[in-house]
Amino acid sequence: MEHQNTSIKTPQFSHITPEDLDHIYEPSEDSFLLIDTLEKDLELIRARHPAVCLEVGSGSGVVITALATALGPYCCYLATDINPRACRITQETGQVNGVSVNAINTDLASGIRAQIDVLIFNPPYVVTPSEEVGRGDLEHTWAGGELGREVMDRLFPRVGELLSPKGVFYLVVLKENRPQEVAEVMALQGFSCSIVLSRTTGPEKLSVLRFTRDR
């Protein structure tokens, strides 16, 4: 039996220009924490034989590209972003790293009808005044409003219909987002929650939550 690599390489993203970074989210500690989480869970993900993977709000595209390089061409890789420039750069990041990512310019998962086996979301999670949510290209990427939850809370009601029966959902949260409350919201939809990885970067305590359907 062929031995499968259980490491994930951080994708190349040197094609992203300083001008691009005035408009899209630069790969940062939360991006790399999410990639490390997918690496830690790679055997679990492979065991589910995913066919369709989706990253919501892909920004630079490094996370969905990292997963695509690890899983190979047997999956369809989708990404969404409300910012057209982020969609273009996501597709370029895939190309530069030898994988195909189909980026869709839409709000969260609006219009997505596929059954998703791996759903990834690094949302705008910073606690800000509500009026900062959705402003400008860069504010879109980090301003989370009250509790930092205003954007992610909009996706949660759709997760049940988006995820396939074997699907798994990875979500980046900040301690201030009240992860336990998030787990309770998802439990009402029949999902179990696990903390896969946590990391403190400066003042931020970041965690990646994994949601799967209760058996």
Give the dihedral sign, CA 198/143/80/164: positive
Closest C-alpha to 77, from 20, 93, 125, 16: 93
Pair 126, 148: CB distance under 8 Å = yes
The mean predicted confidence, pLDDT, of the chain is 92
pLDDT for the residue 139: 63
CATH superfamily of 20-213: Vaccinia Virus protein VP39 (3.40.50.150)
Q: pLDDT-based confidence at 4, cuts 50/70/90?
A: low
* Alpha-carbon span 162 to 80, nearest angstrom: 14
DSSP state of 199: E
Cα dihedral 63, 196, 5, 88, rounded to 10, equals -10
Residue 131 has pLDDT above 90, yes or no: no
Domain boundaries, the chain: 20-213
- Looking at residue 1, its pLDDT comes to 39
- Is the per-residue pLDDT at 115 higher than 50? yes
> Tell me: the pLDDT tens digits for 190-202?
999 999 999 998 8
Across 86-100, 124-138, 150-164, least confident range: 124-138
Does position 207 have pLDDT exceeding 80, yes or no? Answer: yes
Token representation of residue 102? 């189909």
